[in-house]
Amino acid sequence: MKKIDLTPYTLGEQEVNVKGGIVMLLFNPSLKLSARDLIAQDALAKKIEASEGSILLEASEYIKVKNAFESFTGFGRGDLELINRVLNAEDVKVKEA
């Protein structure tokens, strides 16, 4: 599983909404989502929006987020923190109960 820090961070005097940035990119038009893919992306977006602090994503969920980030063009230097949090997300081993 991958762990992504969702806490806001400050860029200059502006607070950056990490959850909002991730969710926005899940619906990036360059992904060319089908109707079924859109439904799956929306379920993932709702999971991210409902999370506090950080989120653990299963491999299939993380791939969707990673693909959304890798397909987007137009990032700027101010997006580096957000990009690093997603593309360099911590691997977490989870033990089954």
Can you tell me which residue has the tokens 């959850």? 19
Instruction: Residue 2: name the closest of 85, 65, 91 by CA.
Output: 91
Mean pLDDT of all residues belonging to the chain:
95
pLDDT at 95 over 90: no
pLDDT at 96 over 90: no
Tokens of 96: 């089954």
pLDDT at 94 over 90: no
Encode pLDDT of 47-72 as tens digits.
999 999 999 999 999 999 999 999 99
Residue 16 burial by CB count (10 A; 0-12/13-18/19+): exposed, middle or buried?
middle
Q: pLDDT exceeding 90 applies to what percent of the chain?
A: 92
